[in-house]
Amino acid sequence: MADASDAGAVAGMTQRPILVTRLAIAAVQAIALYLLIEAATDNQTWPATQPELFKPLVLVAGYVPLIVLCGLGQVAGRALAGWAVAAVVILAGLGWHDAARGAVPAYPTQDMFWPSWHLLLVVPPLLFVLHVLVTDALAARRLVPPYRQHFDSAWKIGLQALLAGGFVAVFWAMLWLGAGLFTLLDVTAVSELLQKQWFYTPATTLAVAIAVHATDVQPALIRGTRTMVVVLFAWLLPLLALILLGFLACLPILSLATLWNTHFAARLLLSAAVLMVALINAAYQDGTTARPAVLRWAAMLGALELLPLVGLAAWALGLRVGQYGWTTERVLAATAILIAACHAVGYAAAVFRRPWLKGLERTNEATAWFAVAAALVLFSPLADPSRLMVTNQLGRLARGEVTPERFDYRALRFDGARWGQAALAALAAAPETASRAKAALALHTRFGDPQQPTSAEGRAARIDVTPAGRTLPPALLADNAPWLSTLPPYSCLSQTNTPNCQARFIRLAPDQDEVVLFIARPSAFILAPGADGAWHVQSELTGKLHCPALTKALTSGDITMAPHGQPDILVGTTRFSITPPRSGDCPKE
């Protein structure tokens, strides 16, 4: 007992420098993230004013410390430092290109100094795969380390990430629970503290560092959790193999048109292929443990099913490309299908090799390197999806595959980055495309800018009046009518692709002058002339304006005026109306 205790104490002593180093890294990361977020909030300051610098800094500050946290104790110090420097170069390059590609915001208030969402989705899996490949090679001092080492490292890091995420979530839940308890005592200082960036940024980074360290010094915990998860999910493999077998068996006797008409066949088929790859690996594990016969046969069947699944996904994507050409999303989807195809071909070949599925080890490693290379190429000037999309769409236009009238100029504007803007400028100089290209260049939002009518006649054309035959007063339609400023930018008055606004003359009481009930779903107002002769919003209408039947009745059906049964409450000059409770259900038509 004394020996075991001494051994534990020695192990604890050797881990203390690593813990201190991890906490120091978390503190430095917190300072960097704090300064970057502060520069990006409210009135942007340097370096947020320079996206070519800010984006690389965000990626480096967000991810490189995590690489070092996970690598400590696993790789020698110099080797880990070299990998960290390489990661800085990779992330800085990706961030710089993300800024230099010149993407156009989809709406005027969109912040373009943060990394794009496509890049933020790709960077975590890219770094995960690279970290496993690089650190295993460094630790083994071999370019191709044993597959078992890759298996152990990948599962360890994956479970560490999940456990760290759960730990941080519970950590913050406890802090907010404590803040709630203090609020019961009318002490709000704690909840206010939790919302301060100078507190929540270091608190989160330190919590992550502690979680990584706690899971790192307990390898038995990770190994036991991994074994439980892998074995549990491996038994889903026979079920998925049978489902896919039934699906593929139905294809020869059913029309594929039904599959293509879903417009999401490629995504669903690719998702099924990814799940199959994951479950096959859960059954195979590191290849050193004997598997039950049902899992071995299910894995071989699933490996063969991957080929038709990926082939159908490629077919579905090819049909869309043939109809509408390449888009940025289709380029990324094609890359994902290529990666899945590498797995499918390698796994199918492994079925016919002995020992059981041994070939998938090299397939997994080769495909991992291919995926890394594909990601780096796609998010660099070499094969940026926006550049590929613009080149393809211009080619379709030049070949007559799409007419100038049906050409998607908006896609060039908002998906084509700087290549799209240059293409639109060139199209603006061609007579047959000039007007549409110039209109696309003038857009400030992806879904079209609000076009408010510039004349009283234009506004009148966008308003249906009840009773029929009545016309709205000229003062109500005047350019300076105060009520116009209360309409949202996107309303029935400005959007030509929506139903007209509705205006109805009503009397709120028999002895009062007529007012106008103006309905611009989901809002409605009572408009009345003021002492100055201009029309103002007298009051707003509340109720189930989302119900089509009730809105139709308001505009053209029979309505009656009922007196308000409750008084209003005044707090100074602020009025509160007392209204009865209402359900969210619409009445049946």
Is the confidence at residue 305, as pLDDT, over 80? Answer: yes
- 248 & 207 share domain: no
Residues 428-439 pLDDT 10s: 999 999 999 998
Helix axis angle, 2-40 relative to 197-216, nearest 10°? Answer: 150
CA distances for 338 relative to 120, 313, 375, angstroms: 21, 10, 12
Decide if 446 is inside a domain.
no
Structure confidence at residue 153 (pLDDT) = 92
Decide if 435 is inside a domain.
yes
Considering 226, 243, 275, which residue would you say is the last residue of a domain?
226
- 241 & 217 share domain: no
- 356 & 263 share domain: yes
Considering 226, 254, 275, which residue would you say is the last residue of a domain?
226
Kindly state the tokens that stand for 55.
Answer: 């984006």
Mapped onto helix, strand or coil, the DSSP state of residue 290 is coil
Structure confidence at residue 584 (pLDDT) = 55
Decide if 117 is inside a domain.
yes
- The C-alpha atoms of residue 589 and residue 582 are separated, in whole angstroms, by 18
Structure confidence at residue 261 (pLDDT) = 76
- 81 & 220 share domain: yes
If one compares 93 and 448, the residue with the highest pLDDT of the two is: 93
Structure confidence at residue 454 (pLDDT) = 67
Q: How many other β-carbons are positioned within 10 Å of the β-carbon of residue 225? A: 17
Decide if 393 is inside a domain.
no
- 73 & 215 share domain: yes
- 295 & 184 share domain: no
- 221 & 148 share domain: yes
- 374 & 406 share domain: no
- 174 & 191 share domain: yes
- The C-alpha atoms of residue 278 and residue 163 are separated, in whole angstroms, by 20
Mapped onto helix, strand or coil, the DSSP state of residue 444 is coil
Q: In whole angstroms, how large is the CA radius of gyration of the chain?
A: 31
- Which of 3-17, 303-317, 532-546 is modeled with the greatest confidence? 303-317
| Residue 489: cis peptide before it, omega within 30 degrees of 0 | no
Decide if 373 is inside a domain.
yes
Cβ pair 482, 536 in contact under 8 A: yes
- The C-alpha atoms of residue 522 and residue 513 are separated, in whole angstroms, by 26
- 515 & 553 share domain: yes
351 pLDDT band, cuts 50/70/90, is very high
- 30 & 176 share domain: yes
Structure confidence at residue 50 (pLDDT) = 94
Decide if 451 is inside a domain.
no
303 pLDDT band, cuts 50/70/90, is very high
Domain that holds residue 544: 473-558+566-576
**Lowest-confidence region among 247-261, 304-318, 442-456, 556-570:** 442-456
Is the confidence at residue 102, as pLDDT, over 60? Answer: yes
Decide if 462 is inside a domain.
no
Is the confidence at residue 5, as pLDDT, over 50? Answer: no
- 174 & 110 share domain: yes
Residues 374-419 pLDDT 10s: 999 999 999 999 999 999 999 999 999 999 988 999 899 999 999 9
Structure confidence at residue 1 (pLDDT) = 41
Decide if 396 is inside a domain.
no
Q: Which ranges in 107-146 belong to alpha helices (H)?
A: 117-140
Percent of the chain with pLDDT over 90: 61
Considering 226, 248, 282, which residue would you say is the last residue of a domain?
226
Q: Into how many domains does the chain fold? A: 4
